[in-house]
């Protein structure tokens, strides 16, 4: 069964989506979309370094994502620039440096488009093992971290005051995010990883009465988007990443239709601020 | 960053928390300094003082959210804290019911959960989504959450903000009764001097340092207190003239909602225009003050 490239892509993609769902919810709740983007863009730098030093791609991408996120935390603490501007600088610099480095290495020929937008043809058995292995690791860690993560998302001060360690929780969360970016890169591509994190979570919001339900629904909706996107990619010969994101977007739009949700449009519009 | 301070035990056995000459500095400026007080079991300590006096900062020092740069803070080992922060911004994208909020930092039996909500008068809202609550209902939910934890120490930073007048005195009665029934210590921050004074053992008047302290009767007669507040009626007026707030991280939030690293009179943020103050008060405390980008756009328009 795994001999068929499409089946492999499907299994890998579903694995990525199931992992990305709960993590994506936190990205949405914590307003870290741009942060996720920055980590994802830095993945290309990881790709370049992996080619240059001949090290494992996954490890290089994970390493660079971790370094970039730690750098970001350190810079934010100095408060010389707004977090927004810092993210903008790091995000695009990492992407640009990655592109420049790849261009320098004239002796390697890589399919840049495949890295930027995903490539279903490239999925190997090893990739599947890494995706599902990493996915199980991420989900297990999230389950263990669940209460402190939710608590510190609502209020870091309350979590800290009531005996939790929000700083440590945040660090672990960023490691998980780096791991997901590393394993998701091949399926959706560097430019679109954040979309796979955010769009299913946003779609799940309307149907969820609790954070736990939203996390599970985000996984399922993501898996649905992967299936739809990959079939679309196959029949229209489009790159896998963008096709999956388009499928996710279609599901999101469907979820906005008034009849789709339990909540009425009025209630949804009454979101206010709190 | 004196991490070792966390480990130091309070001297007296019944002291839950004690601050000794505690101070915290951000960007070379002391937010509070030389703060000295302790809270015993069953004691209610109330911090009063003008905006920016360091009341919330002092409370955060006491419970370990902030660490002192000078002096020391000692907490009883294993101290169980129930905290109602001054501001709490929950992103509306998180589906959070009151029931789920109650279990935020630890498991809780259904009976305790319901009892706490009943005591703050909102048992009917148990399955309501937190984002649909009014300001006062939200405060009641936060207070119920802190109570349900059965803490050794409750830290209540303006716990009745946004609560209607009748509800206010009921909630203060509740806080008093909790102290009596559970024997927990309470550290409270409030502007409602009349309300608070009745149920407080020790009042500490802050303005970057401890101005005066004592029983409510003593403090309300002291010269320092009168100098700061005149009488309690003028307290509200005083707030309106204060055009910036020193955030716990050392930055300064101005009347126009923007945030800067330092506090300079000539940086264009200090607007004494009456109109601006009116605008400020359109936003109750529990709303999105954390959303700087939005507030900035509004303020500079």
**Closest Cα of chain B to A201: distance in Å?**
9
Cβ pair A79:B90 closer than 8 A? no
Token code pair at residue A272: 């206010």
Q: H or E segment at B75?
A: strand B70-75
Query: Do the beta carbons of residue A31 and residue A83 sit within 8 Å?
Result: no
Separation between Cα atoms, residue A126 and residue A37, nearest integer Å: 26
Q: Are the Cβ atoms of A273 and B101 closer than 8 angstroms?
A: no
Question: Are B94 and A153 inside 8 Å of each other by CB?
Answer: yes
Nearest CA in chain A to B134: A274
Specify the pLDDT at position A109. Answer: 79
Closest to A154 (Cβ–Cβ): which among B90, B129, B288?
B90
> Is the distance from CB of B38 to CB of B17 less than 8 angstroms?
yes
CB-CB contact of B213 with B202 (8 Å): yes
Say what the pLDDT of residue B68 is. 94
Nearest C-alpha of chain B: how many angstroms from A220? 17
**Facing B92 at nearest CB: one of A79, A209, A271:** A271
Residues of chain B with pLDDT under 50: 1-7, 232-243, 263, 265-301
**In this complex, how many residue pairs, one in chain A and one in chain B, have their CB atoms less than 8 Å apart?**
98
| B113: Cβ contacts below 8 Å, ≥ 6 apart | B99, B102, B103, B126, B148
Q: How far is A1 from chain B (nearest CA, A)?
A: 40
Chain B nearest-CA distance from A186, in A, is 29
**Distance (Å, whole) CA B107 – CA B87:** 23
CB contact under 8 A, B106 and A162: yes
Tokens read off for A139: 């989900």
**What pLDDT, on a 0 to 100 scale, did the predictor assign at position A273?**
38
Determine, for residues B92 and A274 on separate chains, whether the beta-carbon distance falls below 8 Å: yes
Note whether A160 contacts B132, CB cutoff 8 Å.
no
Q: Write the burial class of residue A84 (CB in 10 Å: 0-12 exposed, 13-18 middle, 19+ buried).
A: exposed
CB contact under 8 A, A157 and B65: yes
The answer to whether the Cα torsion of A157, A160, A163, A169 is positive or negative is positive
- The domain locations on chain A are 5-269
Say whether the ipTM exceeds 0.85: no
For chain A, say whether B291 makes contact (Cβ under 8 Å).
yes
User: Helices H, strands E: what count in chain B?
Assistant: 11, 12
β-pairing, B44-48 with B70-75?
Answer: unpaired
Cβ within 8 Å, pair B131-A274:
yes
> Whole-angstrom Cα distance, residue A181 to residue A62?
7
pLDDT of A248? 96
DSSP annotation of B19: E
CA distance B289 to chain A (A): 9
CB contact (8 A) between residue A213 and residue B101: no
Q: Rounded to the nearest 10 degrees, what angle do helices A211-236 and A240-256 cross at?
A: 130
Contact B32, B206 (CB under 8 A): yes
| Digitized pLDDT (tens) for each residue of chain A, 274 residues in all | 566 888 999 999 999 999 999 999 999 999 888 989 999 999 999 999 998 898 988 899 999 999 998 888 888 777 667 878 888 888 889 889 998 988 888 887 788 888 888 887 778 898 899 999 999 999 999 999 999 999 999 999 999 999 999 999 999 999 999 999 998 888 888 888 999 999 999 999 999 999 999 999 999 999 999 999 999 988 998 888 899 999 999 999 999 987 654 444 334 434 443 3
Nearest to A24 by CA among A159, A216, A272, A186: A216
Predicted pLDDT at A156: 92
Residue A262 contacts B, CB cutoff 8 Å: no
- Judged by a CB distance cut-off of 8 A, whether residue A55 touches chain B is no
Residue A271: its pLDDT value, please? 41
Q: How many CB atoms lie within 10 A of CB B221?
A: 11
Answer yes or no: do A158 and B88 touch at CB < 8 A. yes
Mutate which of B6, B93, B156 to test chain A, going by most A C-beta atoms within 10 A?
Answer: B93
SS3 label, residue B285: coil
| CATH for A5-269 (3.40.50.300, 3.90.1170.50, 3.40.190.10, 1.10.3470.10) | 1.10.3470.10
Pick from A147, A158, A163: CB nearest B85: A158
B161 near B5, Cβ under 8 Å?
Answer: no
Q: Which of residues 173-212 of A touch B (CB under 8 A)?
A: 201-202, 205, 208-211
Run of H or E residues at B275: helix B274-280
Angle at B241 between CA B238 and CA B243, to 5 degrees: 130
- Kind of pairing between the strands at B202-206 and B210-214: antiparallel
B64 contacts on A by Cβ (under 8 Å): 160-161
* Nearest-CA distance B235 → chain A (Å): 27
Chain B closest CA to A59's CA: distance in Å? 32
Structural domains of chain B, ranges and CATH numbers in brackets = 3-87+95-230 (3.40.50.300), 243-300 (no CATH)
Look at B80 and A211 and tell me if their CB atoms are within 8 Å: no
The Cα of A211 is separated from the nearest Cα of chain B by a number of Å equal to 6
User: For residue B280, how many other CB atoms are within 10 A of its CB?
Assistant: 18
Give me the helix-helix angle, A5-29 and A33-53, nearest 10°: 130
Task: Kindly give, in sequence order, each residue whose CB lies less than 8 Å from that of residue B188, ignoring residues fewer than 6 positions away.
Answer: B44, B45, B46, B47, B155, B156, B159, B175, B196, B200
- Looking at residue A76, its pLDDT comes to 76
């Amino acid at each position: 069964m795994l001999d068929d490239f499409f089946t492999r892509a499907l299994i890998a993609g579903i694995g990525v989506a199931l992992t990305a769902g709960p993590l994506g919810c936190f990205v949405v709740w914590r307003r870290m979309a741009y942060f996720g983007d920055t980590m994802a863009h830095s993945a290309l730098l990881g790709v370049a370094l992996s080619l240059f030093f001949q090290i494992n791609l996954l490890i290089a991408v994970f390493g660079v994502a971790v370094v970039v996120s730690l750098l970001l935390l350190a810079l934010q603490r100095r408060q010389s620039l707004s977090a927004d501007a810092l993210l903008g600088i790091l995000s695009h610099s990492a992407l640009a440096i990655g592109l420049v480095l790849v261009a320098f290495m004239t002796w390697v020929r890589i399919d840049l488009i495949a890295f930027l937008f995903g490539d279903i043809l490239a999925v190997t058995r090893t990739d599947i093992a890494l995706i599902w292995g990493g996915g199980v690791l991420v989900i297990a860690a999230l389950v263990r971290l669940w209460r402190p993560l939710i608590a510190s998302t609502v209020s870091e001060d309350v979590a800290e005051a009531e005996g939790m360690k929000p700083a440590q929780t945040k660090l672990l969360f960023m490691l998980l995010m780096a791991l997901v970016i590393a394993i998701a890169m091949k399926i959706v591509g560097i430019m679109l990883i954040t979309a796979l994190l955010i769009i299913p979570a946003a779609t799940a919001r309307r149907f969820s009465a609790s954070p736990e339900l939203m996390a599970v629904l985000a996984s399922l909706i993501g898996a649905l988007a992967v299936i739809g996107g990959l079939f679309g990619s196959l029949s229209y010969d489009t790159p896998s990443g963008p096709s999956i994101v388009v499928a996710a977007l279609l599901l999101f739009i469907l979820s906005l239709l008034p009849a789709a949700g339990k909540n009425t449009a009025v209630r949804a519009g009454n979101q206010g601020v709190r | 960053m004196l991490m070792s301070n966390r480990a130091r035990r309070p001297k007296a056995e019944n002291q839950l928390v004690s601050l000794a000459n505690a101070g915290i500095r951000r960007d070379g400026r002391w937010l509070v300094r030389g703060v000295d007080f302790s809270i015993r079991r069953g004691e209610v300590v109330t911090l009063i003082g003008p905006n920016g006096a360091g009341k919330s900062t002092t409370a955060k020092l006491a419970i370990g959210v902030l660490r002192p740069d000078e002096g020391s803070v000692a907490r009883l080992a294993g101290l169980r804290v129930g905290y109602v922060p001054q501001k709490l911004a929950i992103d509306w994208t998180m589906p959070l019911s009151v029931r789920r909020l109650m279990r935020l930092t630890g498991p809780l039996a259904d009976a305790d959960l319901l009892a706490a909500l009943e005591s703050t008068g909102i048992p009917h809202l148990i399955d309501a989504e937190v984002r649909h609550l009014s300001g006062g209902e939200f405060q009641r939910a936060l207070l119920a959450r802190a109570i349900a934890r059965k803490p050794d120490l409750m830290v209540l930073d303006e716990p009745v903000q946004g609560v209607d007048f009748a509800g206010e005195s009921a909630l203060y009665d509740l806080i008093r009764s909790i102290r009596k029934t559970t024997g927990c210590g309470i550290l409270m921050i409030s502007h409602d001097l009349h309300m608070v004074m009745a149920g407080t053992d020790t009042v500490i008047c802050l303005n970057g340092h401890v101005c005066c302290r004592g029983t409510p009767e003593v403090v309300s007669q002291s010269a320092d207190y009168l100098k700061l507040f005149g009488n309690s009626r003028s307290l509200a007026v005083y707030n309106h003239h204060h055009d910036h707030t020193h955030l716990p991280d050392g930055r300064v939030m101005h009347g126009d909602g923007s945030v800067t690293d330092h506090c300079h009179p000539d940086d264009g943020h200090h607007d004494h225009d009456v109109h601006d103050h009116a605008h400020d008060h359109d936003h109750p405390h529990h709303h999105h003050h954390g959303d700087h980008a939005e507030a900035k756009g509004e303020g500079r328009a």
